[in-house]
C-alpha cells in the first residue's frame, strides 16, 4: 500500500466527509488518521490514507474532485513518504501543557505566542483559536496544546508569556495537561 495525505476545504455542509470517505473506500483505500475542524463556516480536514500501489495521487484526486464538485470542495492529494523532521527523529523527553490566552482581538496574537514557544524549544501539537473580534475577552480565545521539553526552564517560559500578556492585554494561563483536565472535570 501507498500512503497519501488528502486535504479537503469547502463551505461547511452535511455529507463532505461521507463523500470523501466513500470514494476512498470504493478505491480500496483505508483512512488511517483524520482531523477535521470548522473555521467559522469553512470545513477543513486532513486525512492520512493507505491506498493500493496502483492508485496514483493524481487519479485519486481527480475522483475525489469529481465526487465533491457539487459541494464546491477544494481537494488535494499528496504522496506521503513518511519522512520525519529532525525534531521528531531526536525528540527530547517532553511534558504536555495547555496554554490558554484570552483577550481583545488584535493582529499578531498567534505569532507572538508561537514565536515565544519556538524560542523555548516547545512544540505546538494542537491549536484552537477563535477570534470574534471586539474587546469582549471571552469572544477571543486561543488554546495551545504543547509539548514542553523537560529541559525547558518553565519560569523563564512563563515570564516570556507574561510579558506578551501584559503588552497585548491578555490573560495567559500555563498548566500541565493533567491539572488542566482535572480542573475542567471539576467545573463540568
Which residues on adjacent β-strands are paired with residue 140?
Answer: 131
At residue 140 the predicted structure's pLDDT band, cuts being 50, 70 and 90, is confident
Structure confidence at residue 164 (pLDDT): 95
C-alpha span between 6 and 134 (Å, rounded): 35
- Note whether 57 and 78 are within 8 A (CB): yes
C-alpha span between 44 and 75 (Å, rounded): 10
Measured in whole angstroms, the distance separating CA 166 from the mean position of its chain's CA atoms is: 26
Exposure string over 159-177, b if 16+ CB within 10 A, otherwise e: ebbeebbeebebebbbeee
- Nearest to residue 112, comparing CAs of 164, 148, 152, 153? 164
At residue 172 the predicted structure's pLDDT band, cuts being 50, 70 and 90, is very high
Region 160-170: mean pLDDT is: 94
Task: Report the range of poorest mean pLDDT among 33-42, 76-85, 146-155, 158-167.
Answer: 76-85
What's the CATH number for 87-187? 3.30.70.260
Structure confidence at residue 137 (pLDDT): 63
Region 122-141: mean pLDDT is: 81
Query: Does 169 have pLDDT greater than 80?
Result: yes
**Hey, what CATH topology would domain 2-79 get?**
Alpha-Beta Plaits (3.30.70)
Query: Does 153 have pLDDT greater than 80?
Result: yes
Q: Where in the chain is the domain with CATH 3.30.70.260?
A: 2-79, 87-187
Amino acid at each position: 500500500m501507498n500512503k497519501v495525505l488528502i486535504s479537503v476545504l469547502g463551505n461547511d455542509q452535511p455529507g463532505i466527509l461521507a463523500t470523501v470517505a466513500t470514494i476512498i473506500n470504493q478505491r480500496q483505500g483505508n483512512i488511517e488518521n483524520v482531523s477535521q475542524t470548522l473555521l467559522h463556516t469553512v470545513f477543513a480536514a486532513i486525512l492520512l490514507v493507505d491506498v493500493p500501489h496502483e492508485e496514483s495521487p493524481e487519479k485519486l484526486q481527480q475522483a475525489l474532485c469529481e465526487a465533491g464538485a457539487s459541494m464546491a470542495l477544494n481537494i488535494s492529494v499528496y504522496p506521503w513518504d513518511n519522512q520525519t523532521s529532525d525534531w521528531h527523529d531526536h525528540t527530547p523527553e517532553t511534558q504536555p501543557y495547555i496554554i490558554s490566552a484570552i483577550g481583545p482581538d488584535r493582529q499578531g496574537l498567534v505569532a507572538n505566542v508561537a514565536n515565544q514557544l519556538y524560542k523555548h524549544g516547545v512544540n505546538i501539537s494542537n491549536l484552537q483559536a477563535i477570534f470574534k473580534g471586539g474587546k469582549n475577552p471571552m469572544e477571543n480565545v486561543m488554546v495551545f496544546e504543547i509539548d514542553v521539553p523537560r529541559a525547558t526552564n518553565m519560569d523563564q517560559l512563563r515570564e516570556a508569556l507574561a510579558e506578551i500578556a501584559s503588552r497585548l492585554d491578555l490573560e495567559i494561563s500555563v498548566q500541565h495537561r493533567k491539572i488542566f483536565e482535572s480542573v475542567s472535570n471539576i467545573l463540568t
